[in-house]
Amino acid sequence: MRFRFVAATIVALSLIACSGPETPTPGVGPEDLLVETPGHAQPSTTAASPAPISNENPLIEMPEYTGVVISKNGTSEFSYLFDKASTEFWEPSVDDISRAEKCIRRFLESVQEDPKLSAFPKEDVALILNNLEQYRRQYVGIVVDGEQRIWCNSFFNDDSFPDWERVPVDVDGGGNRYWQIEYVLLQGKCTNFHVHGES
């Protein structure tokens, strides 16, 4: 995937599992972690999976996070951010986003304890964690090697991007005010965590 930013030492953290299984939600089991995508349908043992939210770009506002889910109809604006091999998209559900956000928080907490990271990246992660609810998110459902993921594009909420609900926030530099991460649905893991470098 092609991103316009500088990835520091944190890139070495390619794939870290969220710590332990989540507490099961009544009526939701492991088979509900995937939404079927044409060409990459995953088997499900239940009759109903979480349905996509809508054909618009739905805004999700929670106490811990605010973000917009980019619908399949809206992904044309974002496709240039990804390699041609990863141009298949799908629309995450509200439940998918909730699971992703929980995993992202646990991932960031685990990163701070990694002895391989220098103090500088740890400072970035600490700032992100302490201000996590201040970042807006753009959630894009992507398929990588047949694997459903949610690409989360995070940027500090300073009203610099009035069209952020439909247009990619894609900047060079900017430091820890901009970062990206992917959540792998089937594995319940985070990967490809990048914090922007300074301009």
Residue-wise pLDDT tens digits, 117-134: 777 788 999 999 999 999
For residues 143 and 88, the answer to whether their CB atoms sit within 8 Å is: yes
Q: What is the pLDDT of residue 198?
A: 84
- 183 domain residue, yes or no: yes
- 113 domain residue, yes or no: yes
Residue type, 82: F
Place of tokens 């009544």: 26
Q: What is the pLDDT of residue 114?
A: 84
pLDDT at 9 over 90: no
Domain count, the chain: 1
- 42 domain residue, yes or no: no
Q: Which helix (H) or strand (E) holds 180?
A: strand 178-184
- 93 domain residue, yes or no: yes
Give me the chain's average pLDDT, please: 78
- 20 domain residue, yes or no: no
- 23 domain residue, yes or no: no
The boundaries of the domain holding residue 79 are 1-12+69-199
Q: Which helix (H) or strand (E) holds 129?
A: helix 119-130
Q: Which of 49-63, 115-129, 169-183 has the highest mean pLDDT?
A: 169-183
Dihedral sign for Cα atoms in the order 187, 31, 1, 176 = negative
CA 128 vs. chain centroid, Å, equals: 14
Angle at 27 between CA 32 and CA 93, to 5 degrees: 40
Dist. CA 159–CA 65, nearest whole Å: 16
